[in-house]
Amino acid sequence: MKISVIGTGKTGSKVVEMLGENLAYAFDESSPPTIEKLKESDAVIIFVPGDAVAEILPVVLESGIPAAWGSTGFSWPEDLENKVQKMETKWVLATNFSLGMNIIRNAIEAISAGSEILKDPIFKIHEVHHVNKKDAPSGTALSWKEWLDKDAEVTSEREGDVNGIHELKISTQTEEITLKHEALDRGLFAEGAIWAAEQLIKNQNLMNGIYTFGQLFDFITKNND
């Protein structure tokens, strides 16, 4: 199994390191991906800033290989699903490749349902990332708000070399509930991205098309029962 990586920044470099002998190519600004080289790979993992996605999107699509995207701060084309299916391949688009984040997703959905019995709850989501992260709020924070499906204030903070802290706080006049996730090492995102790419390659039950990381996680775990 050979996997290429596009983007060798903070997280992409971790992916390259963890792939070891399974790495096909590592592409960056000085060595951009080509369709020919991507086709030599079984899949590709992409960690580039949102403003770089538009340039490499057609190359990845034309290669026809499975792709695990960890890019945020980009509005995906509305017809992307049709294009991916037309190329008869599989993509996963993730705002966060932490496998533990899927536990958080289930917890937030349960909190959302349970909060219906609370009196006038106030929902706040706060995220903290390193100073070089360009998009704010983070894609993960926006996913938290989507999972919560409530009117929630979302705030952001950029400091030092923080890997990622997300916190949901629900307050009423008589109590406060806090849910927090902290990424202690970027290796967790690399592990999740490699896991996702491997599933796209080897799981024959996955239909062609686009999956969120949560959809992929649920599909694999339910079908492994």
Is residue 166 among the annotated active site residues? no
Is residue 119 among the annotated active site residues? no
Backbone dihedral angles phi then psi of residue 169, each to the nearest 5 degrees: -125, 130
Q: How far is CA 82 from CA 68, 76, 86, 102, in A?
A: 17, 12, 6, 26
Catalytic residue among 133, 145, 166, 181: 133
Tokens in use for 157? 């903070």
Task: Lay out the sheet containing 67-69: strands in order across.
Answer: 23-27, 3-6, 43-46, 67-69, 90-93, 209-212
Amino acid, single-letter form, for residue 44: V
Catalytic residue among 90, 129, 166, 181: 129
Could you tell me what percentage of the chain is helix, strand and coil, using 3-state DSSP and rounding each to the nearest 5?
A: 40, 25, 35
Catalytic residues: 129, 133
